[in-house]
Structure 1
Amino acid sequence: MQDSEPNSAPLRPGQPRVVPRPQHNISRANISESALRVLYRLRQENFQAHLVGGGVRDLLLGHEPKDFDVATDATPEQVRQVFRNCRLIGRRFRLAHVQFGRDIIEVATFRGSGSDDGESPERQVRDGLIVRDNLYGTIEEDALRRDFTINALYYDIADLALIDYAGGLEDLRAGRLRLIGDPVKRYREDPVRMLRAVRFACKLGFTIEPETERPLFELGHLLRDIPAARLFDELLKLFHSGYGVAAFEKLRHYGLFGHLFPATEACLAQEDHAFPITFVNRGLANTDKRLAEDKPVTPAFLYAILLWEPVRRRWEALVAQGMATTEAILLASAEIRAGQRPLIAIPKRFSLPMHEIWALQPRLEQRDGKRPYRLITHPRFRAAYDFLVLRAEAGEADPELADWWTRFQEASSQERARMTDPSPRRKRRPRRQKRSESSA
């Protein structure tokens, strides 16, 4: 981002800072073709059309945006009339998705400021929480309805200028994350903004402005008012973006992690020889590394890591009470998943593989006979093996066991036969051979 300071004269309230094209570094060459098609088509239909949010922010920082969002004065219905390849989504926050193959451009209508009494059918507020927000307004109102100043920057396709109503350019230069308006009120309107504050701080390496940071220590309980399915999506953005370790540490620092994973936090607070924290850190570091190497990751493995410690402790407690190992791990898994479900809705396509990763851990200790051959063909074997390796690296599982499975996968058929032969049989063979020679 260029360091020039256009329009340096004091601005009147509501007056935007406008940065003409020669004084900023955003180029249309770096904007996706699909986003440009949407912007130009809206302009042709005499609507305002602006690139807004994270795409503008990342372009100014020299990063490659993952998404491009568009803001306009066209209503969602009008957007759908303009684009045949458009569908409308959302009830709480009505949006238009314009699809070009796999590329989806999100188009939002300018939101109005409205009233906070929650009486309008288009904008409903309950105990400070916005449950519906489809009251439309001007670009000025829309800017001040956004969460962070650095996400309230607009790129106008009409003249290619930048428009800043909230001081976002200054915060961007300072590496500062600041909420627009009163932080407590804005967090109460949408508690997910607390997770977004952590995410942007980790992703961008920004500091959180003190007034924006202070409520993070106090308002974590509000996250329990958020739909469990939405929290699942938000946490994937946190932990599957390449900075999972930093996100985990910040969530615990602000006391937010305990409101999301109370059973895990209770175990981490007790710290059994530092196994829990070491294991979670190693697991998240492994995920960050795979993402950096452009390797696939799955939410099943992520949540298996985050919830393993309460499962392990319950499993061990049930075994100590006399329950069989296999039955105990299944019951422990079911109990912890049931307790977590009201907080974060993990879809079955991920919760079942997560359960299988846990259930295979005691089976990995069975190395005799045909069991290893059957186990290595299990669809979740590789994930369960990787999970065992992390446990061993954290000091929670036997490193020799993890090493045995590493060698078994690489061994020849003859070597595998020797590795799985029960020890009593190995001792008898030399004696039978000796008797045979004597008899001859």
Structure 2
Amino acid sequence: MIRVPKWLKRTNRIPVKKHGIALAMFDEDAVSAVRRLQKAGFEAYVVGGAVRDLLLDIVPKDFDISTNATPTEVRRLFRRSRIIGRRFQIVHLYFYRGKKMRIIEVTTFRADGDEVISDENSGRILQDNLFGSASDDAVRRDFTCNALFYEPTTENIIDYTGGYDDIRRGRLRLIGAPAIRFRQDPVRLLRALRLGVKLNLTISQATQKTFALYAPLLTAITTSRLFDEFAKIINSGASANIIQRCAECGITDHILPAVSSGGDFFMNALKKADLRHQSGKDISLSFIIAALFWMPVRCRWLALQQEGMLSVAAMEQALEAANFPANNIVPRRVVARAVDLYFLVARFVGKVTLRRTRGVLRNPLFDRAIAFGTLCGGDIEPEVVQWWSDYQLAGDDERKTMIATKNPGTPNR
């Protein structure tokens, strides 16, 4: 059970004239869903990250709802909805605007008690379907900044944990003792670093000192959950700083040891990803994973080519240096895409023919391979990458001339 001071459940209602968030800043579908729940006699709020982000002048990506209605009761109220989850059931509400669909997540207030099933050895929560009140739910959340409730009718923010003051003071504070909360769910270690860096919130020194102690517990978490959190880090806009902090705390040694060998190359890829995020561009996870494993692969690939092996054949052998099994949180499908990118870059090197160039240009990863080759710098001669980039834009006659110039005496076929 979570042991927290009694004052954490003291209700603090912050009026709109103090917190300054206008109702219009909240998603209208989320507000509509809250009002429908209230009209049916239930207690309901917009909760968590949306409230936190608006207080920090950040546009929220999601607007989640929390209520005292059970998942079955919520399902009865909303025709376009679905109950999901086993550890703790939640309801997804489906809203359509034109052809675009979006999901709003509804959770029932959770409580802490004897019905929560946890592993006796690790203390990790395995099953948690005990319902409670709004104040119970607040203290069950991970950080105080995520435990704020917004009530659209009154436009008040309801705060049971001091999260409002913590946000105003720029600090990220764990609810409860780290020894209990990190054991219950070690993924909170990653969340703490992600939120702290992304939102520019300070984590206390006492809490930070526990990161290395509880990092080994992450090995018991399913690889899918860990990679989901890794993907959130990559798409945070602050991935370089977050991954650096994770490495300093020893967290990556337990879940993604390739980070230690990725070096500056991997960090440069993360910095470019952060710039893309800030520009509103999509980020390719397979590109980032390719950058993560590149340095050991690159060393072996270049060495084999110096021994006289052709580029693509050398790449086939060099892949062993990546040691993918030791980094098993990365799904095979993502590894496969990264490997495809390696082989496409390897095909840039050496003699070219019309037939070969057609295959390279038809590859859906071509533009990504050009970007990766540029990132590689001296590993692949810049002239080679530029040649392929120019070749893509050239006409048929110009392509024949480019091939003849690149490979004197080689038939254009």
Q: TM-score, normalised by structure 2?
A: 0.88
Q: Which moved more, 1:99-108 or 1:254-263?
A: 254-263
Following the alignment from structure 1 to structure 2, what is the Cα–Cα distance between the partners of residues 418 and 134? Answer: 69
In structure 2, the residue matched to 1:292 is 278
In structure 1, the residue matched to 2:335 is 351
**Structure 2 residue 405 is matched with structure 1 residue 405:** no
Q: Note the C-alpha offset of 1:62.
A: 2.0
Following the alignment from structure 1 to structure 2, what is the Cα–Cα distance between the partners of residues 286 and 419? Answer: 31
Closer, same or farther: CA 200–12 of 1 in aligned 2, 3 Å: closer
Closer, same or farther: CA 184–323 of 1 in aligned 2, 3 Å: farther
Letter in 1 for 2:183: R
Letter in 2 for 1:285: K
**Are the equivalent residues in 1 in contact too, given 2:212–2:249 (CA < 8 A)?**
yes
Letter in 1 for 2:207: T
Among candidates 150, 157, 160, match of residue 162 of structure 1: 157
Letter in 2 for 1:329: M
- Secondary structure at the counterpart of residue 93 of structure 2: strand
Among candidates 46, 53, 68, match of residue 63 of structure 2: 68
**Structure 2 residue 357 is matched with structure 1 residue 372:** yes
- Secondary structure at the counterpart of residue 158 of structure 2: strand
Count of residue pairs brought into register by the alignment: 399
**Structure 2 residue 233 is matched with structure 1 residue 238:** yes
Q: Deviations over 1:97-142 (max 9, x none)?
A: 1111222111111111114xxxx3x533442111111111121111
Closer, same or farther: CA 391–81 of 1 in aligned 2, 3 Å: same
**Structure 2 residue 117 is matched with structure 1 residue 123:** yes
Following the alignment from structure 2 to structure 1, what is the Cα–Cα distance between the partners of residues 361 and 320? Answer: 24
- Secondary structure at the counterpart of residue 128 of structure 1: coil
Among candidates 308, 311, 319, match of residue 333 of structure 1: 319
User: Which structure 2 segments of 5+ residues have no match?
Assistant: 1-5
**Are the equivalent residues in 2 in contact too, given 1:264–1:309 (CA < 8 A)?**
no
- Secondary structure at the counterpart of residue 247 of structure 1: helix
In structure 1, the residue matched to 2:366 is 381
Q: Deviations over 1:398-431 (max 9, x none)?
A: 223223333333445444333322678469xxxx
In structure 2, the residue matched to 1:436 is none
Q: Deviations over 1:338-380 (max 9, x none)?
A: 41563x14252x3332211011222111243333343222222
Letter in 2 for 1:108: T
Closer, same or farther: CA 316–224 of 1 in aligned 2, 3 Å: farther
Closer, same or farther: CA 176–13 of 1 in aligned 2, 3 Å: closer
**Structure 2 residue 13 is matched with structure 1 residue 18:** yes
Query: Whose Rg is larger?
Result: 1
- Secondary structure at the counterpart of residue 408 of structure 1: helix
Identity %: 37
Letter in 2 for 1:43: Q
Letter in 2 for 1:212: T
Following the alignment from structure 1 to structure 2, what is the Cα–Cα distance between the partners of residues 90 and 336? Answer: 35
Q: Which moved more, 1:359-368 or 1:31-40?
A: 359-368
Following the alignment from structure 1 to structure 2, what is the Cα–Cα distance between the partners of residues 224 and 314? Answer: 29
Q: Deviations over 1:39-82 (max 9, x none)?
A: 00110111110111101111112221110111111111111111
Letter in 2 for 1:409: Q
**Structure 2 residue 205 is matched with structure 1 residue 210:** yes
Letter in 1 for 2:41: N
1:267-346 to 2 correspondences below 5 Å: 267-268=261-262, 276-277=263-264, 279-315=265-301, 325-333=311-319, 336=322, 338-340=324-326, 342=328, 344-346=329-331
- Secondary structure at the counterpart of residue 379 of structure 2: coil
Q: RMSD of the TM alignment (CA)? A: 2.5
Following the alignment from structure 2 to structure 1, what is the Cα–Cα distance between the partners of residues 181 and 351? Answer: 56
Following the alignment from structure 1 to structure 2, what is the Cα–Cα distance between the partners of residues 141 and 377? Answer: 56
- Secondary structure at the counterpart of residue 38 of structure 2: helix
Among candidates 20, 45, 48, match of residue 50 of structure 1: 45
Closer, same or farther: CA 132–311 of 1 in aligned 2, 3 Å: farther
Q: Which moved more, 1:415-424 or 1:37-46?
A: 415-424
**Are the equivalent residues in 2 in contact too, given 1:49–1:157 (CA < 8 A)?**
no
In structure 2, the residue matched to 1:363 is 347
**Are the equivalent residues in 1 in contact too, given 2:84–2:90 (CA < 8 A)?**
yes
Among candidates 211, 222, 232, match of residue 217 of structure 2: 222
Following the alignment from structure 1 to structure 2, what is the Cα–Cα distance between the partners of residues 105 and 13? Answer: 28
Among candidates 18, 22, 25, match of residue 30 of structure 1: 25
Closer, same or farther: CA 362–13 of 1 in aligned 2, 3 Å: closer
Closer, same or farther: CA 89–196 of 1 in aligned 2, 3 Å: same
User: Which structure 1 segments of 5+ residues have no match?
Assistant: 1-10, 269-275, 428-440
1:181-192 to 2 correspondences below 5 Å: 181-192=176-187
**Are the equivalent residues in 1 in contact too, given 2:196–2:203 (CA < 8 A)?**
yes
Letter in 2 for 1:114: G
Closer, same or farther: CA 337–82 of 1 in aligned 2, 3 Å: farther
In structure 2, the residue matched to 1:438 is none
In structure 2, the residue matched to 1:256 is 251
Q: TM-score, normalised by structure 1?
A: 0.83
